[in-house]
Amino acid sequence: MKASDFKNLGIKPFNKGLSDLGNNIYCYLQPDGGWGWSNAGLIVDGDESLIVDTLFDENLTEEMLESMKKAEPLGMKNICALINSHSNGDHCNGNNCVETKEIISSQATLEEMSHESPEMMAALIKQAPEMGPLGKYFLECFGSFNFEGVTKKLPNTTFSGETQRQVGDKVVELIEVGPAHTNGDVLVHVPSDKVVFTGDILFIEGHPILWAGPVKNWINACDRIIAMQVDFVVPGHGPVTDNRGVRAVRDYLDYIDTESRKRFESGMSAIEAAKDIDINLFSSWGDAERIAVNVNSLYREYKGEEQREEITLLFEQMAELSGLDGWYQR
The whole-number mean pLDDT for each consecutive block of 10 residues of the chain, a chain of 330 residues, reads 93 98 98 98 97 98 98 97 98 98 98 92 94 95 95 97 97 98 98 98 98 97 98 98 98 98 98 96 96 97 89 94 71
Q: Is residue 42 part of a domain?
A: yes
Q: Is residue 55 part of a domain?
A: yes
Beta strand 170-176 with 186-190: parallel, antiparallel or unpaired? antiparallel
Largest pairwise CA distance in the chain: 61
196 pairs with which residues across the strands?
A: 189, 233
Among residues 290, 41, 260, the alpha carbon closest in space to that of 141 is found at 290
How far apart, in Å, do the first and last CA atoms of the chain sit?
A: 17
Tell me the residue range of the domain where 300 lies.
3-322
| Sign for the pseudo-dihedral over CA of 162, 160, 95, 235 | negative
Structural domains counted in the chain: 1
Q: Is residue 329 part of a domain?
A: no
- Residue 160 burial class via C-beta count within 10 angstroms: exposed 0-12, middle 13-18, buried 19 and up: exposed
CATH of the domain at 82: 3.60.15.10
Q: Is residue 104 part of a domain?
A: yes
Q: Is residue 66 part of a domain?
A: yes
Q: Is residue 327 part of a domain?
A: no
Q: Is residue 328 part of a domain?
A: no
Model confidence over 227-240: pLDDT tens digits?
A: 999 999 999 999 99
Model confidence over 141-164: pLDDT tens digits?
A: 999 999 998 999 999 999 999 999
Model confidence over 61-105: pLDDT tens digits?
A: 999 999 999 999 999 999 999 999 999 999 999 999 999 999 999
